Amino acid sequence: MKKHLDARSITTMALLIAMMVTLSRILGIETQFLKVSFTFIPEIIMGMLFGPFWTGIGSVIADFIGMSLFAKAPFFIGFTINAFLEGAIYGYFFYKKEITWKNSIQSVLVTTILINLILTPLWLAMMYHVPLNSWVIWAPRLIKTVIWIPIQAFITYFLGGVLPYKQWIARFNRAH
With bands split at pLDDT 50, 70 and 90, how would you rate the model's confidence at 95?
very high
As a whole number of angstroms, the distance between CA 97 and CA 85 comes to 19
Q: What is the pTM of this model?
A: 0.88
Q: Is 34 helix (H, G, I), strand (E, B) or coil?
A: coil
As a whole number of angstroms, the distance between CA 150 and CA 84 comes to 23
Q: Which amino acid is at 66?
A: G
Q: Which residues pair with 76 in a beta bridge?
A: none
Please give the full DSSP string across 42-85, using - where no structure is assigned: HHHHHHHHHHHHHHHHHHHHHHHHHHHHH-SS---HHHHHHHHH
pLDDT in tens, 43-92: 999 999 999 999 999 999 999 999 999 988 889 999 999 999 999 999 99
